[in-house]
Amino acid sequence: MEHELDSRLKISFCGIDLDSPIVLLSGCVGFGEEYTRIKGFSNRDVGAICLKGTTATVRSGNPPHRLAETPAGMLNAIGLQNPGVEAVVEDILPILDFAETRFFANVSGSTVGEYVNVVRKFDDSPIDAIEINISCPNVKEGGVAFGNDPDMSARVVGACRAVTDKPIITKLSPNQADIAENARRCIEAGTSGFAVINTLTGMAIDIENRVPIIGSVQGGLSGPAIKPIALLKVHEVYQVAKKHHVPIIGQGGITSANDAIEFLLAGATAIGIGTALFYDPMICKQINSGLVEYMNKGGIQSVGKLTGTLKLPDNIRAAEHDGRCQDSV
């Protein structure tokens, strides 16, 4: 008999009941079946799994090298390698066990029309929600251009909303001037939730050969190195999202229960685990246990009660209420 999760870990995200606030992030667990091969791992330990980025047709991805370890982080430039949406819907989804956990699709495209076509395919499938990746930093077209422009972001979200009734989760880029304004525009366009943040754009250099380590020169930086940035972006998006009851998956460098709690306090409803899985595939069990321990100490009846409970200084709260900007020192 499998160990059952503490009922206080249950949350509702975009109207979907999750047994844990943990979401396994897109690109880190393939199409949902990879981690079932690891002894001791169970999909029941997570609330949802976000499938690998999917496009309208087959993509072979970027040239090698595609991964590079960096101080407190990792660069990746996979380039959205995937078999195309028809293969995912017809061949992969039928073998996933939707009784164990929830599954979110991840949609990417080079044009608004491609996003729409892929979303339409997933709409006619058992997938629980659709994540719109408008902020991929490791492809040459689409992606970053859409995610860093509020007008384009809203256009993509609105077009996708027109072809599906499933929850839409918009994955926001940290590589933009005003993430809160982008979030506001996406809410107006019909997003159901947010994933905050995607990776930052970065590079690494081989000094012996004087060449970029990543074959496509740049990639997406993830891991503990980006956690402070991710926390701030979750906090900023939450100031907009909370007014419309739009939930957030907080992600970026979470490697412990303490990290997860920080994101919840900053405004996340769910927490995304990605890079940490590469060196500790069993980390989800530890985070669940740590969350339960924290709730026991504080007499907290539900992990959802932690969302957005960060206590800000009076002057900061007043400034945010008035919409004024606080300069950093």
In angstroms, the first-to-last Cα distance of the chain is 55
- Evaluate whether 202 touches 75 at the Cβ level (below 8 Å): yes
In order of 7, 29, 73, 101, 191, the CA distances from 296 in angstroms are 13, 31, 32, 25, 34
Q: Which string of b and e fits 172-208 if b means at least 16 CB within 10 Å?
A: bbbbbeebbebbbbbbebbbbbbbbbbbbbbbbeeee
3-state secondary structure of 48: strand
Sorted by sequence, the CB contacts under 8 Å of residue 93 that are 6+ apart come out as 103, 125, 126, 127
14 is catalytic: no
Task: Given the residues 14, 28, 136, 284, select the one marked as catalytic.
Answer: 136
| Cα 28 to Cα 213: distance, rounded to the nearest angstrom | 21
Residues labelled as active-site residues = 136
